[in-house]
Amino acid sequence: MKIAIAGAGPAGLYFALLMKKAWPHYSITVYERNKKDATYGFGVVFSDTALTHLEDADDDFFKLLSDGAEHWDDLTITHHNKKVAIDGNGFSGISRLSLLNILYGLCEDAGIRIRFGNPFNLADAQNTSDLVVGADGVNSSVRNALADRFQPQIKLLTNRFIWYGTKQRFDTLSLTFRRFDNGAYVAHHYRYASEMSTFIVECDAATFEQAGLTEKTEAASREFCQHIFSDTLNGANLISNRSIWRQFPVVTNRNWTAGNTVLLGDALRTIHFSIGSGTRLAMEDAVALFRSFRDAGPCVDAALDAFVAVRKPQVEKLLSAARSSYEWYEGFSKKLALEPVDLAYDYMTRSGRMSDERLQAIAPGFHARWSVSQAR
Ligand SMILES: Cc1cc2nc3c(=O)[nH]c(=O)nc-3n(C[C@H](O)[C@H](O)[C@H](O)COP(=O)(O)OP(=O)(O)OC[C@H]3O[C@@H](n4cnc5c(N)ncnc54)[C@H](O)[C@@H]3O)c2cc1C
pLDDT tens, position by position, 286-343: 999 999 999 998 899 999 999 999 999 999 998 998 999 999 999 999 999 999 999 9
Instruction: Give 5 Cα–ligand 1 centroid separation in angstroms.
Output: 15
Mutate to test the pocket of ligand 1, among 75, 91, 279, 287 (most ligand atoms within 8 A of CB): 279
The residue whose C-alpha atom lies closest to atom 52 belonging to ligand 1 is 273
Instruction: Give 94 Cα–ligand 1 centroid separation in angstroms.
Output: 14
Instruction: Give 137 Cα–ligand 1 centroid separation in angstroms.
Output: 5
Counting from 1 in the atom list of ligand 1, the atom nearest the Cα of 34 is 47
Instruction: Give 82 Cα–ligand 1 centroid separation in angstroms.
Output: 34
What's the whole-model pTM score? 0.94
Instruction: Give 339 Cα–ligand 1 centroid separation in angstroms.
Output: 36
For ligand 1, residues with CB inside 6 Å are 6-12, 31-34, 44-45, 119-120, 135-137, 141, 161, 163, 200, 265-267, 273, 276-280, 282
Angle at 91 between CA 316 and CA 19, to 5 degrees: 60
Share of the chain above pLDDT 70, in %: 99
48 and 23 in contact (C-beta within 8 Å)? no
Inform me whether the pLDDT recorded for 21 exceeds 90: yes
Counting from 1 in the atom list of ligand 1, the atom nearest the Cα of 11 is 25
189 and 233 in contact (C-beta within 8 Å)? no
| For range 93-114, the mean pLDDT | 95
Counting from 1 in the atom list of ligand 1, the atom nearest the Cα of 43 is 8
Q: How confident is the model at residue 243 (pLDDT cuts 50, 70, 90)?
A: very high
202 and 161 in contact (C-beta within 8 Å)? yes
User: How would you classify the pairing of strands 131-134 and 152-156?
Assistant: unpaired
The residue whose C-alpha atom lies closest to atom 3 belonging to ligand 1 is 273
Q: How confident is the model at residue 123 (pLDDT cuts 50, 70, 90)?
A: very high
> What phi and psi, each to the nearest 5 degrees, are found at residue 87?
-75, 170
Rounded Cα–Cα distance for residues 293 and 306 (Å): 9
Which among 94, 109, 331 has a CA at the least distance from the CA of 205? 331
The residue whose C-alpha atom lies closest to atom 13 belonging to ligand 1 is 278
Instruction: Give 261 Cα–ligand 1 centroid separation in angstroms.
Output: 19
Instruction: Give 266 Cα–ligand 1 centroid separation in angstroms.
Output: 6
Q: How confident is the model at residue 39 (pLDDT cuts 50, 70, 90)?
A: low
Listed by start position, the domains of the chain span 2-50+95-156+249-329, 160-239
Instruction: Give 130 Cα–ligand 1 centroid separation in angstroms.
Output: 25
The residue whose C-alpha atom lies closest to atom 27 belonging to ligand 1 is 137
Instruction: Give 296 Cα–ligand 1 centroid separation in angstroms.
Output: 28
The residue whose C-alpha atom lies closest to atom 51 belonging to ligand 1 is 273
The residue whose C-alpha atom lies closest to atom 30 belonging to ligand 1 is 137
Rounded Cα–Cα distance for residues 117 and 119 (Å): 7
- Correct CATH for 160-239 of 3.40.50.261, 2.40.160.10, 3.40.50.920, 3.30.9.20: 3.30.9.20
In this prediction, residue 140 carries a pLDDT of 98
185-210 confidence digits (pLDDT tens): 999 999 999 889 999 999 999 999 99
- Correct CATH for 2-50+95-156+249-329 of 3.40.1010.20, 3.30.1300.10, 3.50.50.60, 3.40.309.10: 3.50.50.60
The residue whose C-alpha atom lies closest to atom 12 belonging to ligand 1 is 278
